Structures are given as structure tokens and as C-alpha cells.
Amino acid sequence: MKEHFLYAKGIHKRFGAVQALKGVDFEVACGEVVGLVGDNGAGKSTLMKILSGALLPDQGEIYIQGEKAHISSPQDARRYGIEMVYQDLALAENLDVPGNIFLGREVQYRLKGLGTRVLNRKYMERKTKELLSSLRIQIPSLRQRVRTMSGGQRQAVAIARTLLAQAKLVIMDEPTAALGVAEVEKVLDLIRRLKEHGVAVVFITHRLPHIFAVCDRIVVLRSGERVGERKTSETTMEEITQLIVGSKTDAVSGTVQDQ
């Protein structure tokens, strides 16, 4: 078996009267693409928020590359190489592509004694071009403000950011939710690119065909428990749907609709 990049053991999380996670185990190998599925309220997002440092678990341990990890903030998670691409993308839409990719880690000229940090735009643009081309992303003009770009292009910018951070695990919450067919294909392609770069990906979505298109393995949550795990090559959408809803009779189509 491949070495786990991340292994979370017995994760519990309670919100008031609701037990959101009831002792869930979760693991991702290096360069593995894992689909995380489950109905609304199954605990997918809660689990991912815990892994990315946005929430603290009530109980449970997280190991990263075999060592116990202490993740209590998104900064901590980032130090371990875990990056989250948010559903709402969270880009500064008034900035251009390099501005967003390097936001918060701008490359500066070394000017000693000037007392100010000057942007090295040329370097950042060149590096942005490299990143985008290594992901085979085409964006006509880097100087374009993100506001003027399509949903898929924005997604690409958000993903390129994680590559710059040399992330080892990228968590994507519904990256294909708001996209058209052609754009979805591009984002799925980006996930394959990340895998090629040895980056592990956790991909949350309601759309099973997207999961089957890119994931190596599928983990199913239901009511805060892990109810199943399948290799994508050894399962069907029907079986996964049954796991998600917990009964055979409800499994009508391969896609679980948003309620």
C-alpha cells in the first residue's frame, strides 16, 4: 500500500445538538484523487474544514506523512502543504492574474535600507506564465482583471495558486458546481494535472459523473459516518448512490440532486 500523505483518525465534531461527525477515518495517499460524496449534511464540508484548519475537531487525530499534526488554523494547514480552494473561490476580482496568484506572498525586489517592499511584477508575471502553462491553462491576457474572466478561468487561477504554494494536498469544495459543460471538462483536466504533479486532491461534489471522471477512490459519508469506500474502477454510480442514500429503492439515477 502507498504511503498516506494524510491520515485522520476517529474525527468527532458536534455542533450543539447535532453530531456532525461521529468518529470518521479518512486518508489520502500522495498524488491520489479522492472523491468525497454524501448527501447534504453528511459531514463532507465539516470534515474538510477540519483538515484545512478552519474548524477544530472535538476528538480525533490527524497524521501527516506518519507524524501527528497539529492543525488549529488555515495557516497551520498551509504549513503542512494543505490548501483549500473555496466554493466561492475567494479571489480579489479587481486584481489581475499574477496579483491573485501571488496575493499574500508577493515577490519583492531586495532593496536594502529603502524601508519599503517593492513588487517584482516582471518576475511574478513570468512565474505565473510558467504555472499556467504547466497546468495547460490558457488565459489570453494576464493583465486581465479576474472580474472579467469566466468561472472556469477563475477556478484555474485559484488552482494555480495552490501549485505556487507547492501544496501536497488540495481540497476542492464543489469546484464544478457553477460551471458549464466545457468549463467543467477544463476543471476536471486541472485536477488530473495536479495529480500529474504529485499533488493529492480531495474533490467534493454532488455530481457523480465528475467524480467518476477523475477520482481514484470514492469515500461516502452518511449522517456523519463513513459508510463506504470504493475504488472507482471497481464500482458503479448506482452502487455509490445507494451508499449515499442508504437504500436501494431511492437509487433512481446516477446523480444525487441538491435538495
Partner 1 sequence: MSTGREGLAFLKRLVVERTATGVLLVLLAIILVTGIVNPRFFSGYNLQTLSRQVVIFGLLSIGETFVIVTGGIDLSLGSLTALLNVLAAWFMTHGFGVAGAVLATLAIAACFGMWHGFFVTKLKVPAFIITLGTFAAAKGLAAVITRGWPISGLPAGFSNLWEGMVAKVIPIPVVLFLLVALLAHFVLGYTVWGQHLYAVGGNLEAARRFGIRINRVRMAAYVVSALSAGVVALLIAARLNQGNPTVGTFYEMYAIAGVVIGGASLFGGEGSVIGGILGASIISVLWNALVLLRVSSYWHEVTVGAIIVVAVTVDVLRRLRGQTVP
**Mask for 35-74, x = binds partner 1 (CB under 8 A):** ---------------------------------------x
Angle at 14 between CA 11 and CA 20, to 5 degrees: 70
DSSP-assigned beta bridge partners for residue 12: 22, 59
Shortest gap between Cβ of 223 and partner 1 (angstroms)?
A: 29
244, 222 contact by CB (below 8 A): yes
| Residue placing its CB nearer to partner 1 in the complex, 56 or 252 | 56
Interface characters, 136-175, with partner 1 (x: CB under 8 A): -----------xx-xx------------------------
Q: How far is the CB of 141 from partner 1 (least distance, A)?
A: 15
95 binds partner 1 (CB under 8 A): yes
Residue among 199, 205, 218 nearest 179 (CA): 205
- Going by C-alpha positions, the residue among 219, 258, 251, 191 that lies closest to residue 25 is 219
The correct pick among 15, 40, 61, 93 for binding partner 1 (CB under 8 A) is 93
Strand-by-strand arrangement of the 59-64 sheet: 18-29, 4-15, 59-64, 67-69
Question: Shortest approach of partner 1 to residue 81 CB, angstroms?
Answer: 15
Task: Report the Cα 23 to chain-centroid distance in Å.
Answer: 22
Q: Does the footprint of partner 1 cover residue 116 (CB under 8 A)?
A: yes
- Rounded Cα–Cα distance for residues 207 and 51 (Å): 22
Footprint of partner 1 on this chain (CB under 8 A)?
Answer: 74-75, 78, 86, 90-95, 99, 103-106, 108, 116-119, 121, 147-148, 150-151
